[in-house]
Each structure stands twice: as structure tokens, then as C-alpha cells.
Structure 1
């Protein structure tokens, strides 16, 4: 691939180009990992936990380790024996006719795969569509588990997820039909309405908890499991939406990432309510 793009190269140049390709190929994973790590340790720092070494130090070690693993000379020898490359008069490596055909074929396949990944995962339209799918399944899962376990908190969270499915569908349509600003307004409006609704529900639940008898959650472990899955999904969606939103300048997706982040806190609260129910403290779930 490198020889197809840059022409004949020396062994040293091939080593440098090969490592650069490997590093950038994993760039998305590394940048996402760094962002997740910062968030996690930012939260854990409240409890006095700090990473043993910072991310840049570990990346330096990773680079040194993989530089040692890349043996361009051995690879060149293998490709030469297969008739794909050869040494020219300047003692540089270049593609043979057979090698050029193979390289062009691989380049087309990689381009096709890249377009597919972009269209299915990394475009604003794809991210909005995937958000709708995720919210839909989370809503069904939460509502079913909520009614089975009689968890007020889980039912409320499921209803919120159902509303999110509708708002996410509007955002998807807005991005798809180039009306993203409208979709962004919908998201912000829904977040505002949800905040008012949650505040009202919280106040009424506190009154109910004081004045009425709160029924226990019948299957608290189911609630913990479902909300644990939902929490992980919300965290993944937060970073995913934020990454795609920032990469493509999509305000609607960035707004959705904030909403997904809020769901992490909601899931945590519901889990706390379920765990409290296990120990006989039933009113926490109602709150």
C-alpha cells in the first residue's frame, strides 16, 4: 500500500511509513480510549483514585513496543520471494506488476470498507439512526423489566427512554433531510421538558413516600442487571455521539451525547434504589 502511494522507498522509509500507518489505523480507538479514561479517572478522583501513570506515558511505551515488533526487512524479504516487490537500481523497494495489481485490489477493498464503516457508524446520519435503535431496545427492556419487578424508578426510566426514541427519530430525520437545526431544538426542548417532569415527579414521589406505604421491588436483582446494561449503553452512546458529533460538527449529536450522559446518572440512581430495596429501604426507588 505504501509503495503504491509513494513509489519506490528505502528500507528505512518503509519502516517509518509502516509504523505511521499502524498508528493512525488505530487512531480512533486510542482517542476514544483516552477520552473514556479521562472521564473514568475524573470520577474516581473524587474517591482518591489516580492512574499509576498518565496516558501519554503509556502511549510512549506502546509506540516503543510496537516499533520493535515491526520488522520491515523480514516483510520485504517475504514479499520479494512472493514476487510482489523488488529492489531497483537505487537499492530501493518498488512494486512488481503482480504486486501493483495486488496493491490496487487491496486499496479498493480498503476504500470500500472505509466507506462502509463511515456510512454505517461514523456519519451523523448513521449515528442518529443507531441512537434510535439503541433507545428503542433500551425502552422495551426497561419497561418490561420495570413492570415485572414493580420498580417505579425503572418504569419511569423506561418511559423516558421511549420519549428519547421519539426525539432521536426526529433528530435522525432532521439530519437526513438537512434540517439538523430543527432536530437540535427538539432535543434541547425535550431535555428541558424532561427536567421539569423529573422535578415534578421527584416532588410528588417524596410526598408519596412520606404519606403512603411504598411497595418493595419484587425482583431487585433484575433491576440492577437491566440498569447496569443501560448504564454501559448510555456511556458508550455518550462517547460515540460526542465523537461523531465533534468530528462532523453536528450540534444535534453533541446535544444527544449530553442527554446520554444524563442517563448514566439516572441509571445509577435506579440501581441505588434497587440495592436499597434489597436491604429493606423501599422509598429510595420511588424517589
Structure 2
């Protein structure tokens, strides 16, 4: 009596699986985009973020990928698209930076990465020859050599991680500590008092402080800046408070106050009257002592008037 294979009952005679997806693949020769499975099967990204990443990777260079531009193409709306963009930025598939043009306008520069791990690998230094030799020894032989190779590899990996470039936050450590003590940084730190979802890290405070300083330099009171950043918050959780605040600081930036123009009198507008030099009073002859003194009209001099006043008082 022969034993039957239990898998034979689970698969049809045609050799196909009873359920699941089946692929009919045909090669593409034009108008296609190569996308890695690390993105298409990402365990943390939402389907909206994955689909949006594939769409952005298929666009030509220079195509608009702002929130409003994408919301005009798809039915998800600005809130879901903004959340998906933040997901892609968190996992390295997008990099968005703010740049100020010579005209003073602030624009967003977006970089789409089809392999975020390749960026990290390019930034990592090559393994030292000692690691390669230790790995060869481990493959060749003893358990002791394998243990030594693993310890050497771990030490070099730690050294390589320490040598990786620190992400640019827009400020060096000295200016970062100064930014933490600035009024703009204090304002950003206080936002968590209004809503705990606006809790920022020290790195986020250093990155957003220059944007808040622009508001303060334009004559906006600190209380008005706080009100702009904390009023009308969404009901759902704010997963990326720094990105949320940065968008408000950029989109709601008020214009500069107009500079008052000096008043220029027209041809028929009388200008300010400038007093001319004062003309001295003419010389008069005193009626009492016949001395000369200056007065607007004839009469007595000061001494004679004073003498007459004394006689009347007596």
C-alpha cells in the first residue's frame, strides 16, 4: 500500500495553485518604469504612499509634485497625499528641502530616490582589508577564527557608522545651540503646551527656527505666530509635526510691510514756510532821558519805566 502525497489534493491537475494571484507577463519595450520590490512590497508604507512613489518615479524631471498638483490628478485629496509624501520622506524615497530664490521667494526642491539604501551605501566607507581577511579565515576554518572575524567586523562596522556624514540640518553645532536659545526656538518649544502633538525634537527646532525668525522680522508678533501654528489643527494624529509646521510657516508667510514713501510736494503745493532772519527793532529816543534804545515804537526806555513804577509804588 502506497502513501499518497497530501499536496496532491491541494493542487489541481493542471499544476496551478487553487488560489492567489496568477501573472501573465509580457515584456515592455517602451514607456515603462523599473521599480524595486523593496518599494512595492514595503512592510511599513501605506498603499497610497507606494502608489504615489511609483507615480513620482515615472514622471519626467521638472514635473510638479507639490501637494496641490498631485491632488489635482488623484481623488485622495490634499490631506492623504500630504501624509503619503511624509511617509516617503521618512523612509528615504523622497527628500524635500526649502530654497530661497534671489527674488526672495521660497520654493521646495524635491528629489525622488528609487533606491534609498544605495544612498547610504555610497556614503559608507569601504570595508578594511582586515575584515576581508577575517571573513576568509572564518569561511575556511575554525570556530575561533569565525568568532574573531565577527568581532573585527563588528568593530569596523561601528567605526564606519561613526564616520558616516551627519545629515545637514542647516546649522553647525555652535549655531544650533544659539538657535535653541533664540526667541524663535523658544516659540517652537512652547507649541507642545498648546497641543502635545506638536512636540518637536531639538533638531527640528534648529531647522524650523530660521523660518519663524522670518515671521518675527516681518513685524508679526510672537502671539500671532503661535496662533497661526496652533489654530485649526486636524483631528487625526500628527505623525510628522515638523513637516506640518514647516508647511504652515511656508504657505502662510505674510508679505513684507510696505515702506512709507516720503511726501513730495507737487508744483502747486506750497512747501513748508521757513522763517527768515529776524529784523532788529528801530532806534527810538527816550521821552524821559533822551537816550537811544531799540523798540518797535516811541516811548520810554527800560530804566525810565522802572523809575516811574517805583515812584507809583512809593
TM range (shorter): under 0.3
Q: Specify which structure has the higher proportion of strand.
A: 2
TM-score by length of 2: 0.24
Query: Would you tell me which structure has more helix in proportion to its own residues?
Result: 1
Q: Which structure has more RCO (C-alpha within 8 Å, separation ≥ 6)?
A: 1
Q: Who wins on radius of gyration, i.e. which is larger?
A: 2
TM-score, normalised via structure 1 length: 0.26
